[in-house]
Structure 1
Amino acid sequence: MAPLFRRATRGDHPARDTAALVLRATLGPMLLAHGWNKISGPGGLEGTTGWFEALGLEPAGVHARLAAGTEIAAGAGLTLGVANPLPAAAAVGLMTVAGRTDHRGKGFFVFKGGWEYVGVVGGAAVALAALGHGRYSLDGLLRRHRSGTGPALAAAGLGVAGASALLALCYRPDSAPEGSAGPEEPGQDVP
C-alpha cells in the first residue's frame, strides 16, 4: 500500500494531478449546467434572449446562443481536461462579460448581484490553467502537459481580450429596455 503522503519526484506530481482533477470536476460541470440552463431552464433560450436584451447585448439572440454554447464547450473541456488553456480562457471571457454587464455596480457579494461569483470562477479558471489539467485528463493521456505562468497568462489574456472585443462591438446598455434587467440568470434563485 502506498503511503498517504509522499514526496513527489521530478516529473511526478500526484498532489497536483489530484488538485487539478478536483478543480476540473468542480468548474467544468458547473459551467456545463449554466450553459444548459440558458437553453432548457425556465424560460429556455427565449428567456435568456430576453435577459441578454435587457442587459444591452446586441443581437441578444446571438449572444444567448453564444453564451450557452461557450459555457457548455468550456465546461466539457474543463471536465475532460483537454486543450489547456483554451477552456479556461473561455471561462474567463464569460465571467468578464458577466461582470461587466450583469454584476457591475452592484458591489462584491453575489447575493446582492455583485461580482463575487464571476471573480471566483474567473480566478479559479486561471489557477487551473497554471496548474495544468494533470495526469487524470485527456491532456494527460495525450501527454500534452501545459502548465505554469504561460498558460495562466494565456487564459487570462485571451479571455479578457475576447470579452473586451465582444463588449466593444455588441454591448449597448443604453438601448436596453428600462427596468428589465434582473440581478440573476433566468431560472436561478439568488440566496
Structure 2
Amino acid sequence: MDDDTRVKKGGAQPAEVGHNSAMLEEKRANLYHSKKDRVFVRGIQGEYNVKQELDRLRAVPRVRKAKEIGFIDGPQAFSRHYVEPKDGITQTFHMHLEEYAPGASSQKHGHVNEAAFYILDGEGYEIHDGVRYDWKAGDIAIVHNNCVHQHFNASKTKPARALVIKTKPMYLFLNMLFQKTVKERPVEATVEGEGFEPREIEEDFNHPKGGY
C-alpha cells in the first residue's frame, strides 16, 4: 500500500506529513540547489577592449586545492563544487564532485544542457527517461539534452563518487532555460547510509581495488 493510500484511510502518514514536514523543508532550503542567489553567468563590466577583465583573468589562480573546498549538502548526495562562474575563473562550464552515500540517490530532474559523469569509484546506475543504465568505476555516464534523470548508488555498504563536467552556464547564457526538478534531493539518510560522512581527504579514489 503506498503512502497516499494510507493517508486516505487514516493510517500511518508519510514522513513529510505532519510535524516532520517543517524540519524537512528547512533542510531543503539549505541545499545548494535551493539557493536563491546562484550565479549562472557572471557580469563583465569595463572598457570596450575588456583589458580589465583580461588582466583579472590572468591574475586568478590556475590550480584550485580540493582541501580548500568542502563538501556540501547530503545526507545522501554530497557535492564539492570545484569551478563555477561565481568563482570568477570560468564562464562556460561547471565542474563538481559528487559523493553518494551507501544506498543513496540524487534529485530527479531535467535540463537542456548535457553533462558527463566520470565514475571515480563505486558502482551504481542512472535512470534516464525511465531507462536504467548501470555504471561502475572507470565508466563515463552521459546525461544527454532534455532527459529527465536521477543517479543512484547501487551498493548498500560502500560509497560512490563521480566527477561531473557540464556546460550549464553556457546554455543558460543562450536563454536555454528549460529545466525542472521532478523529485527533490533527499534530506534524510538511507538506512544503510546513516551516519555516513563524505571522504574529505583526497586520496586515490580513482577506482581502487579495495574500497573504503
**Quick check: TM above 0.5?**
no
Task: From the two aligned structures, give the one with the greater helix fraction.
Answer: 1
**Interval containing the TM-score (normalised by the shorter chain):** under 0.3
Comparing both chains, which one has the higher relative contact order based on Cα–Cα distances under 8 Å and sequence gaps of 6 or more? 1
Q: TM (normalized to structure 2)?
A: 0.25
Q: TM (normalized to structure 1)?
A: 0.27
